[in-house]
A and B are shown apart, each in its own frame.
Chain A
């Protein structure tokens, strides 16, 4: 009897384990979906490139001018899970992504899966990029093909156990990889708000820093864009909703002007990691900045998603 029970338990555990193993497997895009992708357009892809902010993490740290297009990697993100190192995503055949097919590129952007078929760490913000249109991914791919090949590989990630087990990312994906929009919009929502939702929630990946995360590193969608303790533990990322502590008193123009110039309505300046982001948004067309503003003003308000501030300001 006992032996039967033990055997039954064993079978259940094996089945459960096998199920979990299957559920956590890296999942690539269907060939049929990829086949429908339109040919990419490099000129349109440049706009996607600045929206998606690739260069903020993948250029050499502190790169300026034309050097922001040399995606050699090397930026270190020191987080509670360990240190992530941004890889080389230049067009170098061996050290970058020069050898990637469009399918490889789309699988990384939309599914967080590498060309070798393993999970990528979500420090690469594919949880947001998964909301992108396949046509934008195709345009981005076409633009990135025009960028220089840079030799050299930065070191690998240095992560704490158990985060160093890549298969575990499969569990993270089950919990956090949901390509549908975060904020539900009415059918008659203005086109600018809809476009802004796409830019903010998808390629712009604003929520990756501006939304607090749970202990497993998943975005807490109930506090979407409510601000968070900075992932690198140095300061806070502000609340960009209309809730208490947020930007209710910013006009549409204030938001667009900030993204264009780097100055808040009080003429304080952008700082920290947002400086690199704002350099990208400064290159976006006015209609996209207006759309981002329209969405942020329309998104649900939340109080600050981080602990009470320290008193002083300078």
Chain B
């Protein structure tokens, strides 16, 4: 079941290309779904629910990297969402702070790509070291910039 997350993440990424121009909310939601897919996959391997596989680990890291390098572009003025999304108004009140948080995510994801090499991280511990800092961004960004929901 968790294996289904890989195509789901990839599909979510390709879907984002289609609607990019006219609907930033749809794009950023698709990007975040891709993130969730990659996080689910990473988590399943970290928890031992899924056997570790370097190629799968590399795909997850690549997904984080693609999301990180594009996510910050989809929060223009006027896309606040009228309270119908969980994007917090604080994003627009503190755009510099938000972009800084996205920038940190980008740096950490790029570092993980670097660490994963041509064939992906060789073993689970290497993967854990590479992806851990990337996953840390979920909390820190959701602490400030998402309307509280869990």
Contacts and interface: CB of A to CB of B under 8 A. Distances in A.
B143 A234 contact: no
Interface in A266-282: 266-276, 278
A273 B147 CA distance: 10
B53 interface: no
Nearest to B88: A234
Contacts of A17: none
Given A257-B47, A269-B139, A269-B142, A236 B87 contact: no
Contact of A314 (B32, B39, B42): B32
Interface of A: 230, 234-238, 257, 262-264, 266-276, 278, 310-314
B40 A266 contact: yes
A234 B142 CA distance: 13
Contacts of A230: 148
Contacts of B29: 312-314
B138 A264 contact: no
22 contacts: A235-B148, A236-B148, A238-B149, A257-B47, A262-B139, A266-B36, A268-B39, A269-B142, A271-B142, A272-B143, A272-B146, A272-B147, A272-B150, A274-B148, A274-B150, A276-B143, A312-B84, A312-B86, A313-B85, A313-B86, A314-B32, A314-B86
B43 interface: yes
Interface residues of B, number: 29
Q: Closest 4 CB pairs between A and B?
A: A272-B148, A271-B142, A235-B148, A269-B138
Interface in B98-150: 135, 138-140, 142-143, 146-150
Interface string B73-105: 000000001011111100000000000000000
Q: Which of B140, B142, B149 has the most CB of A within 10 A?
A: B149
Given A271-B142, A310-B84, A314-B32, 5 more contacts: A263-B39, A269-B138, A270-B142, A274-B150, A314-B85
B58 interface: no
B84 A271 contact: no
A270 B40 CA distance: 14
Contact of B139 (A237, A257, A273, A278): A278
Nearest to B87: A314
A314 B85 CA distance: 5
Of B33, B138, B140, B143, most buried by chain A (CB within 10 Å of CB) is B143
Which of A237, A238, A269, A275 lies at the interface centre, i.e. has the most chain B CB atoms within 10 A of its CB? Answer: A269
A178 B36 CA distance: 42
A266 B84 CA distance: 21
B149 A272 contact: yes
Contacts of A236: 148-149
B83 to A, nearest CB: 7
Nearest to A269: B138
